[in-house]
Homo-oligomer: A and B are copies of this chain.
Amino acid sequence: MPSPDVSPAAHLIAASGGRVTRTRIAVLEILQDSPRSLNHDDIAAQLAADGMPHDRVTLYRTLDWLVEQGLAHRVIGPDRARRFKAGGETRSQHAHFHCDRCGHVLCLESIRPEEQFTLPAGFEPDRAELVFHGTCADCGRQRGAKA
């Protein structure tokens, strides 16, 4: 019997019916530890920093799998690169904020576009993506001293 000190990430992965591998655990933990969404480079760099050798393709497939299992979700950035974040929040219709200064993408859980709009007749939306661009709270605080 395994000791109970396996990470929550490992539990989630096991509960999804997939095999619990080093890569999946490491990637999911990286996503869970980050307050913002990460792209492939971010994650690859973190894996490297953790001394985890890995393959580019495996990372793509691992992330796809996590999204498929609802353990992570994807945001498509303005640089047309995908960013990932832990939690299967895709279907909970919250907005995102992309900061033009630091480049980070943050979730705005309180804002839900679906509830706010009435579309023209005939349109049947089943989800909505709302992304704000501008200066985030962190960068805004620094601005007084800087600009």
Q: Which residues of A contact B (CB under 8 A)?
A: 76, 78, 80-82, 95, 97, 100, 108, 110-111, 113, 116-117, 119-138, 140-141
Contacts and interface: CB of A to CB of B under 8 A. Distances in A.
Nearest to A117: B111
Given A80-B81, A116-B117, A133 B129 contact: yes
Contact of A123 (B80, B97, B116, B124): B97
Contacts of A116: 116-117
A50 B67 CA distance: 43
B135 A124 contact: yes
A76 B138 CA distance: 26
B119 A97 contact: yes
B135 A123 contact: yes
A32 B124 CA distance: 26
A136 B110 contact: no
Contacts of A95: 117
